[in-house]
Amino acid sequence: MAVGTSSDNTFKGDFQRRAINVIWGTNLTDGEYREHEVAYSAYFYHIYRQLWNAACSGDEPVSDSSHEKVLQIVSQLKREDKVKRELLSLVSSGAAGWSQLQIERAVNLAAGLLVPLNFGGIGGLRPGKQVTWNSDESLRQLVTRQATALAPSTRILQHLNCEACSACNSRINFPKRFSAWQLRFVAGFDIVWTNNLLDHLALDEEKLEVHIFHHVKVLMGHKECQGNIIPLDLIQETFDTMALLFPRTDRKVRKWYDKLDKTYRIDPLVFRCNYLKLEDRHSEHFKYWGTRLLKLKGAFDAHEPTGPAQWWRDDRKPVQWWTFWVAVLVLGLTLLFGFTQSITAILQLVRS
């Protein structure tokens, strides 16, 4: 299979279809790929292109004409559950003229194209948590290790749930108003769209930023792909966080997201996630992301409106909301009547 090079439009058209067929094990025809092209556009724009640009930079870069070779490595990663050391040896046997550094960069690049993590050893600088793939572990073992680190112990999660720490057995519910739109326009958090699954829901309280992983199509590909490199329960739970933050029935959230999609080219399939049932909208439902959701909700609840726009949108405390706006109305009417009386008095004085 001649995949092509980036110098002859590798990031467009038929190259994308052939690359997707290799990476996700699909067998899409030209017509079938055109039906799904928009869904894959975020992956090629944010992940494939950026990683290739990084790998083709610096000392001993990966050759810009080696897309075919790297995609073959992707196939090997899916087909053979070898530790990295064995995989490097296997790739070396078919990479004449490549230095050891180029081979390792190519293997790390292939891993990054397949699994949405920030792999070290590719080249370039990318924000967020970086992972190191040890020579004595397979790609699946690396992902499992990172996923396990996401899930806190039950005791720690219960402690985070407990407001008074008197009886660490409570659970926190996430109301329907707890959405990405509310985080942005009520609490004032900036949304940072990330390509790194490990940065999902990471909160920076100093910068007022929350990171959200948006590549639904990538996770769908892993869910349908044989081998299960990413744990299926982690994939499903990530979908549930998106259903929580981007409720598909909320027109306001959908309209806002559509505008963002045109600007940032984020994954349009976020609203394809199934609706999160009411009985699942609590912290204990989230094994992997529960800790970050609790921290995010804590920061959201603690935020006080800082301006008229935030006061108007903030419906978390209805009584306080009505009290504030009734007070504003009374003040406005008082000023209006006072101004009217002043004008009337001036006119009477002039006429007299």
- Examine the domain organization and report whether 188 and 70 are in the same domain: no
**Residue 288 contacts residue 234 (beta carbons within 8 Å):** yes
Decide if 124 contacts 137 (C-beta within 8 A): no
- Grade residue 236 by pLDDT with cuts at 50, 70 and 90: very high
Does residue 335 share a domain with residue 251?
A: no
Provide the pLDDT for residue 142: 97
Find the helix or strand (DSSP H, E) in which 345 lies. helix 318-351
Domain presence at residue 59? yes
- Give domain status of residue 84, yes or no: yes
In percent, the amount of the chain with pLDDT more than 70 equals 81
- The verdict on residue 310 lying in a domain is no
Claim to verify: residue 254 and residue 190 sit in the same structural domain = yes
**Count of beta carbons in the 10 Å neighbourhood of residue 82:** 15
Q: Do 166 and 184 fall within a single domain?
A: yes
Interval 203-216: pLDDT, tens:
999 999 999 999 99
Contact 1, 74 (CB under 8 A): no
Claim to verify: residue 182 and residue 294 sit in the same structural domain: yes
196 and 298 part of one domain: yes
Residue 344: which pLDDT band, with cuts at 50, 70 and 90?
confident
> What's the mean per-residue pLDDT of the chain?
85
Domain end position, chosen among 147, 172, 193: 147
Residue 309 placed within a domain:
no
In this structure, the answer to whether residues 161 and 192 fall within a common structural domain is: yes
Residue 161 has pLDDT above 70, yes or no: no
Long-range CB contact pairs, 122-127, < 8 A, 24+: 122/51, 122/54, 122/55, 123/54, 123/55, 123/56, 123/57, 123/58, 123/61, 123/62, 124/50, 124/53, 124/54, 124/55, 124/57, 124/58, 126/50, 126/54, 126/195, 126/196, 127/194
- 312 domain-assigned: no
Domain assignment of residue 30, yes or no: yes
Does residue 1 sit within a domain? no
Q: Are residues 127 and 185 in the same domain?
A: no
Last residue in a domain, options 147, 181, 215: 147
Domain count for the chain, please give it. Answer: 3
Beginning with the edge strand found earlier in the chain, give each strand of the sheet holding 203-204 in spatial order. Answer: 190-194, 209-213, 203-204
Question: What percent of the chain has a predicted confidence (pLDDT) above 90?
Answer: 59
pLDDT score for 159: 53
Element (H, E) at 166: none
What range defines the domain where residue 190 resides? 151-302
Here the tokens at position 239 are 């979908």
164 and 208 fall within a common domain: yes
Final residue in a domain of this structure, among 84, 115, 147 = 147
Same structural domain, 251 and 323: no
This prediction's pTM: 0.82
Together in a domain, 286 and 327: no
pLDDT at 150: 92
**307 in any annotated domain:** no
Q: What is the mean pLDDT of residues 30-40?
A: 91
pLDDT over threshold 80, residue 201: yes
Does residue 157 share a domain with residue 258?
Answer: yes
